[in-house]
Amino acid sequence: MNIILLGAPGSGKGTEGNLISKNYNIPTISTGDIFRENIKNKTELGVVVEKLMNNGQLVPDDLVVSLIKDRLNCDDVKNGFILDGFPRTVAQAQALKEIAKIDKVILIDVDYEITEQRILSRRVCPVCKSVYNTMTYSKDICDKCGASLITRKDDNKETVKKRFDVYVNQTNPVIDFYENENLLYKVDGNLSPDTVYSEIDKILQK
Q: Is the pLDDT of residue 89 over 80?
A: yes
Q: Which of 36, 118, 123, 163 is catalytic?
A: 163
Mean pLDDT is highest, among 56-60, 68-72, 144-148, for 144-148
Model confidence at 50, pLDDT cuts 50, 70, 90, reads confident
Q: Which of 36, 88, 123, 129 is catalytic?
A: 88
Based on the residue annotation, tell me whether 71 is a catalytic residue of this protein.
no
- String of DSSP letters for 141-199: B-TTT-PBPB--TT-SHHHHHHHHHHHHHHHHHHHHHHHHTT-EEEEETTS-HHHHHHH
Based on the residue annotation, tell me whether 88 is a catalytic residue of this protein.
yes
- SS3 letters across 48-107: HHHHHHHCCCCCCHHHHHHHHHHHCCCHHHCCCEEEECCCCCHHHHHHHHHHCCCCEEEE
- Taking only the tens place, the pLDDT of each residue in 125-168 is 999 888 898 988 999 999 999 999 999 888 888 888 888 888 88
Q: Which of 69, 71, 104, 152 is catalytic?
A: 152
Based on the residue annotation, tell me whether 118 is a catalytic residue of this protein.
no
Task: Point out the least confidently predicted range of 44-58, 74-88, 164-178, 187-201.
Answer: 44-58
Tell me the C-alpha distance between 1 and 103, whole Å: 6
Query: What's the rounded mean pLDDT across residues 73-77?
Result: 92
Q: Which of 13, 118, 123, 129 is catalytic?
A: 13
Q: Is the pLDDT of residue 197 over 80?
A: yes
